[in-house]
Amino acid sequence: MALLQKSIDKRTALLKATLTLVNNGGIQEASMAKVAKTAKVSPATIYLYFQNKQDLINRLYIEVKTDFTNMAFSDYTPNNPVKLSFEQIWFNMMNFKLNNPDEASFLAQCDNTPMIDEPTRQEGLTKIQPLFELMERGVKEDLIKNISPYLLYAYTIYPMTFLINMHKRNLHPLNQQTLKDAFQSAWDSIKI
């Protein structure tokens, strides 16, 4: 038990260290030596928990993405009206990103980078399936434009990354009003 806990702690420390380092200087700054030192562990120990650097990054991606979508769909009730559910999910996502800036920043960095390999990227994609299903329902109920889910995603969820980035860089702070405006734009872009 104690042993197992220690192992879990080490694994977690390694993931956390990687997250921090990648955020601060990109994947190139997150050398295995630095990850090890940050996690207070020998470089060799990393390889007890991960196959190699790519695996470490992939696993981190999946775990962060999972945390993110778990939060996003935490109170999702398929029977609720589409717009209500959509609003809940949207604000859950935004709140996750606001409350977990490191995780948000990491996910943003993964988006347009060859950091993550394709299979892992696909695996991550499956996590937001419920959102796609909700949108589909909205289309059927004539609430949402009958356009590709990729378009719907591009104009409602994807802009968050930019807004969070501007927020972090103090160029455009997100508060109750701006969040409201942002959501309104998201909804306006897809509603019929």
Partner DNA sequence: TATGAATGAGTATTCATTCAT
Partner DNA sequence: AATGAATGAATACTCATTCAT
Per CB under 8 A, residues contacting a copy of itself are: 24-29, 105, 108-109, 111-115, 145, 147-148, 150-151, 153-155, 158-159, 161-163, 165-166, 171-172, 178, 181-182, 185-186, 188-191
> Which residue of 13, 16, 20, 34 would you call a contact of DNA, by CB under 7 A?
34
Query: Of 80 and 132, which CB lies nearer to a copy of itself in the complex structure?
Result: 132
Handedness of CA 162, 168, 173, 176 (dihedral sign): positive
Contact between 91 and 36 under an 8 Å Cβ cutoff? The reply is no
- Rounded Cα gap, residues 93 and 159, in angstroms: 12
Using CB under 7 A as the binding rule, whether residue 25 contacts DNA is answered as no
Q: Residue 142: enclosing H or E segment and its boundaries?
A: none
With vertex at residue 74, the alpha carbon angle to CA 72 and CA 77, rounded to the nearest 5 degrees, is 105
Give the nearest distance from C-beta 49 to DNA in angstroms.
7
**Binds DNA by CB under 7 A, chosen from 44, 78, 169, 177:** 44
Q: What is the DSSP string of 148-186?
A: -HHHHHHHHTHHHHHHHHHHHTTSS---HHHHHHHHHHH
Question: Which of 17, 41, 94, 152: binder of DNA (CB under 7 A)?
Answer: 41
| Range in contact with DNA (rule: CB under 7 A) among 6-14, 71-79, 116-124, 176-184 | 6-14
43 near DNA, rule: CB under 7 A: yes
Cα separation, 125 vs 143, whole angstroms: 24
Binding DNA by CB under 7 A: which of 48, 125, 151, 192? 48
Which helix (DSSP H) or strand (DSSP E) does residue 83 occupy?
helix 82-99
Is residue 15 a contact point for DNA (CB under 7 A)?
Answer: no
Q: How many residues does the chain have?
A: 192
* Residue 19 engages DNA in binding (rule: CB under 7 A): no
Where do contacts with DNA occur on this chain (CB under 7 A)? 2-3, 6-7, 10, 30-34, 41-48, 52-54
